[in-house]
A and B are shown apart, each in its own frame.
Chain A
Amino acid sequence: MGSWRVIPEHMPILLDGLWMTLQISACALLVSIPVGIILGLCRISRNRFVSLIAVCYVEFVRGVPLLVLLFWIYFVLGKILKMGPFLSGVVGLGLFSAAFIAEIVRAGIQAVPRGQMEAARSSGMTYFQAMRFIILPQAFRKVVPPMASQFITLIKDSSLVSVISVVDLTLIAKNVVATSFRAMEVWTFVAIMYFCVTFFLSQLINVIERRYRVSE
């Protein structure tokens, strides 16, 4: 048996790491949701140029490993714009996640039957009114489950920001292992911490999903 004493001894610093993980995930989420929704709307735009931009963005970002994207943003963009590790991490994670959210939003909107847009437009609503009051509320209900798994993915992906020296849970754990040589205990405990966060989130989303299903 290993020595689990290492966990309580390093608990404060591990919680600091968790806090950083939650902060960077939340900030990245706040970036990715609006960017993703806008990209998703551009993707279905009738304007070829607008949709082409969104297609290129989604295809490019999806086609590059997150790790490489983070390195590029930190070492290239970050140097030009004077962004530190945290901001680079937020931007990298946020822009990466936005590409996936864009696809979820597009699929959600396209899953709303065409007749809904026709009914709204035929009553005199503009395209944007129809989107806002008729299409998006329905699309929103359809995208809750895939969106939830995207958020969970985002939290897990945030462990990669440790490579650009953001002091998150993963980086702290690595340091604790380096000084205590307790790899099994530390990595097991860290895995459980990540799991607790994502499990709590998925339960929360289940509640939201159920509430919206009732009102349909």
Chain B
Amino acid sequence: MIQIKQVSKSFGNVNVLKDIHLEVPESHIYALIGPSGAGKSTLIRSINALESIQAGEILVDGISVHDSKTDINKVRSNIGFVFQSFNLYPHLTAVENVAIASIQVKKVAKEEAEEKAKKLLTSLGLGEKFASYPGQLSGGQQQRVAIARALAMDPKVMLFDEPTSALDPEMIKEVLDAIRHLASTGMTMVVVTHEMGFAREICNQIVFMADGRIVEIAPPEQFFTNPQTDRAKDFLSKVLNH
């Protein structure tokens, strides 16, 4: 579903992505983990072209994302993206946040889009919050609205960029539960996360990145019990023993 081929990117002299090669098959869930500055966020953001790349190619559902001939807006409407800082629209209610892209991009009728938005919000446990503005919601609720907003476009792929990093600890579970539920529906997903237990539980593959490279790719059991590289061993000893 997602093919990343020989992708490189640099900011000035700093190479943030070095010759990245990764394939995510349909209905698979990949976790991107690694130390900060490893290039995880840059990589996931380049999958829907929020970041440009300087070399290589990224295909989503067979379409080259960074090709200038590609209709990037069409591609993006098939890719749900959930941000660390939610980025809900503060001037719109929860329902409007979820419905607006369907109305404007897919030209769905307003009533229909809002009906669907309400269903999505209800399924994410936000049935009471239709008319709330983001400022009136907790962080966990905001992130669930953001997930509903991404799902409203019926994406083929969902990308999560540290979805729980900005949350208070007691709100992490409700967001992870929402992602777990999504995982059970067979959605193709890439998740940048620091939640190792969560990555181990729901992901098919762990992609360990450091210094702009993919250092190791392995199924979770193997990665967490028997990492092959020193870099991964070092990282795991730091994040798991505290």
Contact = CB atoms under 8 A, between A and B. Distances in A.
Interface of A: 113, 115-116, 118-126, 129, 133-134, 137-138, 141, 215-216
B114 to A, nearest CB: 15
Contacts of B87: 113, 115-116, 118-119
Contact of B89 (A124, A134, A215): A134
A119 B74 CA distance: 15
Contacts of B85: 115
A65 to B, nearest CB: 39
Nearest to A122: B81
Given A115-B87, A116-B87, A116-B89, A122 B50 contact: yes
B17 to A, nearest CB: 18
Given A122-B50, A123-B77, 11 more contacts: A115-B83, A115-B85, A115-B87, A119-B89, A122-B79, A123-B100, A124-B73, A126-B73, A133-B100, A137-B91, A216-B90
Contacts of B25: none
A133 B103 CA distance: 11
B133 interface: yes
21 contacts: A113-B87, A115-B85, A115-B87, A118-B50, A119-B81, A121-B73, A121-B76, A123-B77, A123-B153, A124-B74, A124-B101, A124-B153, A125-B104, A125-B105, A133-B100, A133-B104, A134-B100, A138-B89, A215-B91, A216-B90, A216-B133
Interface size class of B (residues with CB under 8 A): 20 to 34
B91 A216 contact: yes
Contacts of A138: 89-91
A113 to B, nearest CB: 8
